[in-house]
Amino acid sequence: MTPGRDANRYWHSPQASANDYRDGWESFKGTGSGHTAGMALVTIFHNPQCGTSRNTLALIRHAGIEPQVVLYLETPPSREELAALVRDCGLTARQAMRDKGGLYDELQLAEPHWRDEQLLDLMAQHPALINRPIVVTPLGTRLCRPCERVLDILPTQPTAPFAKEDGQVVIDAQGRRVL
C-alpha cells in the first residue's frame, strides 16, 4: 500500500477509541480521516485465539501504539475490501489463505485448479480461511507471520526488550531486533 491513494481507507479516526473494534469492520471501514500530528494509526485484523496474532498485537502495543483492532471473524471485510487488503500486502489470494483446518481440507483448497477470484470468494464467505494477522499502517500493509514482520511497517519502533508468549526474544536488552 502506498500512503495517499489507499491509506485513508485503512486509517481510523483520531476520535476512535481502543474499544471501537467492538463495532467491527462496519465502523472501521467508514472512519478513515487520516492521522493526528505525532500519532501513528495502525489497524490489525485480529483473531485473539491465534498466538501469532496475539504476539503481533502485543508487539504493536510495545511500540507505544494503540491500534484499531478488527475482529475479522465476527465482522469480516467484504470481498472487495478483502481483495484490496490482499493486493496491498503484495500477496496472491492463495498466499493470504489459511491452509490449516478442516474447512481448507474439506473444500480441497490445496488443489491447483482454484483461481484467485474463487479463493477470494471463499475467504469472504468463510473468514476463518483468511490468514492472520493482517496489519495496516501508514507505511504499508503486511500479513505478519511471523509476528516480527510487523516491525517493518511500524512508524515507531519499540526500544525495550520484547519476547513472544513462548519466550522467544524478538528485541533484546539493548533494544536490537533479534528476529
Compute the distance between CA of residue 151 and CA of residue 173 in angstroms, rounded to an integer.
17
Q: What is the pLDDT of residues 116-153, one digit of tens each?
A: 999 999 999 999 999 999 999 999 999 999 999 999 99
What pLDDT was estimated at residue 179? 85
> Between helices 116-125 and 79-89, what is the axis angle to 10°?
120
Q: Which domains does the chain have, with CATH numbers?
A: 7-171 (3.40.30.10)
What pLDDT was estimated at residue 29? 44
CA distance readout (Å), 49 to 43, 94, 133, 158, 173: 18, 22, 11, 24, 29
Catalytic residue among 50, 89, 144, 147: 50
Q: Is 147 a catalytic residue?
A: no
What pLDDT was estimated at residue 101? 82
Q: What is the pLDDT of residues 99-111, one digit of tens each?
A: 998 999 999 999 9
Model-level pTM?
0.79
